[in-house]
Structure formats: C-alpha cells, structure tokens
Amino acid sequence: MERSALSFWVRSPGKGEIERVALPDPGPDDVVVRTLYSGISRGTESLVFEGRVPAGQRDLMRAPFQEGDFPGPVKYGYLNVGIVEEGASALVGRTVFCLYPHQTRYVVPASAVTPVPEDVPPGRAILAGTVETAVNALWDAAPLVGDRIAVVGAGMVGCSVAAVLAGLPGARVQLVDVDTSRAPVAEALGVGFAVPDDAEGDCDLVVHASASEAGLARSLELLAPEGEVLELSWYGDRRVAVPLGEHFHSRRLTVRGSQVGAVSPSRRSRRTHADRLALALRLLAAPAFDALITGEAGFTELPRLMPPLASGALPALCHRIVYDPVEEAALVQRHRP
C-alpha cells in the first residue's frame, strides 16, 4: 500500500498550497514520524514565502529536508515535532524534534531526529530550532557574569536569546523593541524591556535581531567603549547601511556576524550540531518559553495564514501549527489523483 502525506508548498512568491506527497518506504536506518506540531519561524519563512531569498544565498538558505528550489515551488520549514510510528525500536513511540518542513508525516534517517526530554511539552519543543540559534549566538558572544546586555529586536530569535541570557548571574539584560506589546513577553522571560529611545546604554554586548537599519544604528549607540554588536538579523536581498562614522573608531566598537549553520568556533572542536540541539531542547524545560508561542492554527489553514504572517498584518513570534490525524486522513483521500 502506498504511503502518503500532505505537505505545505510555496508554489510561487506569495502563494502557498497543500499537496499530497508519496512517502518512500523506510529503510533499516529510517524512522516514520507523524507530526504533532510545527512552528513558523516568521522572519526566515516570510523571506521564503515572499520570494526574497537572494540568488547568491540560496544554497546557504536551504533547509535540511527542503524540496524544490527558491523562489518556488519549494517545501520549506525546520521546526517540527512528532511521534515516531515505525523504525528503530528505541525510538518508536517517542516524541522527537526534527528540522523538517510543514508535513503531516515523513520518513527520515533516525539520526535526523532528536528525542524531546520528558519534561518538555511537545507543543513547546517546536522552539528548539530557534533556541539552538540563541545557544550558538551566545557561544559566539561569550557573555560574562555581570555583563550589561541589550537584545535589540523582540522577534522570535531576539526573545530566545533574551530567555537564555536571563539565567546569566548578575547580568543586566534588556529586551529592546519599538513594539510595546512585547513588554509582557520580556516580563515572562525575566528580563527588562524598553523602547529604543529609553534603552539603557553602556552595554558590554548588544545582540541585534531586529533586521532593520535603525535597530543596528541604535545597537551601536548602546555600546560602551570596546563593546560588541553581535548581528543575528537576516536581511535577505536588502542592502543595509551601517553607521561607521562618528564614534565608531574612537570607541573601538565591533560588529560581528553569527549564523547557526555552523557550530561556533569556540565550541566546534568539542560540540556537534546534535549536542547543540540537545542542549536547546533541555533549556526548553523552562515554562517561560511558552511566552514565545503567540498564536495557533490548524495545518489546513497554512495557505490562508502565511500571507498575513509574512506581511506582518498578523503579528506573531512563533505561530504553532497543529496536526489533526482524522482531518489528515480525510484530506489525503480528497487529494488522491
């Protein structure tokens, strides 16, 4: 009997569809996973949905189990939590995280899934990919006890960084954003909040994640002499002006990039990608991370949901997608050729 599933595809910039896909038979080293939840990483997936991935970055932007090519048709995504239904006996019945797109079922090598700790709810575990980005960024930045730190940009990545930094002893951590509705999120995470004009300066470290020129300029202004901005924003195909005049040289400031595609050089000889992801999942035992999930919808709503999410008309940090197996069975029958 042919295995099949439903997946979400970006057919062309700004247009998404749900399609039936045939699943391969699992090999001896594979697992079959039934999806419980997936998450929309709004910043990156908006760029993909709107066809704004630069031609020169398309290879670097590929997700591990992406199908198709940018700008489309493409199946994209990397925040997926499900239950192993078949495969390695040690994993059958386990809840796992996988860097897989929005799809109801899938077959992957057993090595591609990471068991979710028992004290982490499956619905929260979809944040693992973004918390992994935060872990890598902080390995790059190496903040110290008692540091004065600002995180500029209270999106999904910025909030994840702030949540991890909240546990740094003696640190002053402030989340900075123009959107005052992020203040309750900062409170839930255990960090301060300020709009850009009111942010505390003299920072040892500023993590920038607003993907805006204004945010980057303000990040530099908030630094103490010899401080560093760690740039996490992904600008897609936009050119960005960096204000390197005035006090940039005299104060010996630094702007440094960080990207999750490779393990930070500070840990690369001692930690693998799997180690980093497992750490991110352990951190998600903290209930405070629930504040990052700001909306929820069913899988079949994705074609309608993505345009307002991508445009910002529907504000969100992480939007959680819920999978209903009964609905899936009916839809698979409807999508049969």
Model pLDDT for residues 108-153, shown as the tens digit of each residue: 999 999 999 999 999 999 999 999 999 999 999 999 999 999 999 9
Query: Residue 207's closest CA among 228, 230, 241?
Result: 230
DSSP-assigned letter for residue 65: T
- E strands in the chain: 3-12, 15-23, 30-41, 67-68, 74-75, 80-86, 95-98, 105-109, 113-115, 148-152, 172-176, 192-194, 203-208, 223-231, 254-257, 293-298, 318-322
**Which tens digits make up the pLDDT trace of 52-96?**
888 888 888 899 999 999 999 999 999 999 999 999 889 999 999
> CA angle at residue 295 from 35 to 77, to 5 degrees?
45
Mean pLDDT across the chain: 94
Percent of the chain with pLDDT over 90: 84
Which pLDDT score is estimated for 182?
Answer: 96
302-31-63-284 Cα dihedral, nearest 10 degrees: 80
**Which tens digits make up the pLDDT trace of 19-37?**
999 999 999 999 999 999 9
Element (DSSP H or E) covering residue 57: none
**Which tens digits make up the pLDDT trace of 211-266?**
999 999 999 999 999 999 999 998 877 788 898 988 899 999 999 999 888 999 99
Q: How far apart are CA 249 and CA 247, in angstroms?
A: 6
Which pLDDT score is estimated for 158?
Answer: 97
Q: How far apart are CA 186 and CA 148, in angstroms?
A: 16
pLDDT of 335 above 70: no
- Give the tokens for residue 219: 């990040």
Which pLDDT score is estimated for 247?
Answer: 85
What would the mean pLDDT of 278-284 be, rounded to a whole number?
Answer: 98
What would the mean pLDDT of 200-207 be, rounded to a whole number?
Answer: 98
The CATH number of the structural domain formed by 134-257 is 3.40.50.720
Q: How far apart are CA 135 and CA 43, in angstroms?
A: 18
The answer to whether domain 3-127+290-334 and domain 134-257 are alike in fold is no
Q: At 8, is the pLDDT very low, low, confident or very high (cuts 50, 70, 90)?
A: very high
pLDDT of 333 above 70: no
DSSP-assigned letter for residue 97: E
C-alpha distances (whole Å) from 109 to each of 20, 102, 254 are 21, 17, 41
Angle between helices 302-311 and 42-49 (to 10 degrees): 100
CATH architecture of 3-127+290-334: Alpha-Beta Complex (3.90)
Which pLDDT score is estimated for 131?
Answer: 97
Count Cα atoms within 13 angstroms, Cβ side, for 11.
8
- Give the tokens for residue 186: 């900062």
Q: Whole-model pTM?
A: 0.91
**Which tens digits make up the pLDDT trace of 150-183?**
999 999 999 999 999 999 999 999 999 999 999 9
Q: Can you give the residue ranges of every domain in the chain?
A: 3-127+290-334, 134-257
Which pLDDT score is estimated for 222?
Answer: 98
Count Cα atoms within 13 angstroms, Cβ side, for 59.
1
CB distance 207 to 232 below 8 Å: yes
